[in-house]
Chains A and B, each alone.
Chain A
Amino acid sequence: GAVVSQHPSWVICKSGTSVKIECRSLDFQATTMFWYRQFPKQSLMLMATSNEGSKATYEQGVEKDKFLINHASLTLSTLTVTSAHPEDSSFYICSARAWPPDNEQFFGPGTRLTVL
Chain B
Amino acid sequence: AQSVTQPDIHITVSEGASLELRCNYSYGATPYLFWYVQSPGQGLQLLLKYFSGDTLVQGIKGFEAEFKRSQSSFNLRKPSVHWSDAAEYFCAVGAQRGSSNTGKLIFGQGTTLQVKP
Number of interface residues of B (CB under 8 A): 26
Given contacts A107-B36, A109-B43, A110-B43, contact A44 B97 (CB under 8 A): no
Tell me the complex Cα distance, A42–B38, Å: 12
Tell me the complex Cα distance, A101–B49, Å: 14
Chain A positions within 8 Å of B, measured between CB atoms, are 4, 6, 32, 34, 41-44, 46, 49, 57, 91, 93, 95, 97, 99-110, 112
Tell me the complex Cα distance, A43–B101, Å: 22
- Which residue on B lies nearest to A94, using beta carbons? B43
Select A104's contact among B46, B90, B101, B109, beta carbons within 8 Å.
B46
**With an 8 A cutoff between CB atoms, is B42 at the interface?**
yes
Interface of A is mostly: strand
Within 8 A of A (CB), among B17-37: 32, 34, 36
A residues within 8 A CB of B90?
Answer: 43-44
* B97-A97 in contact (CB<8A): no
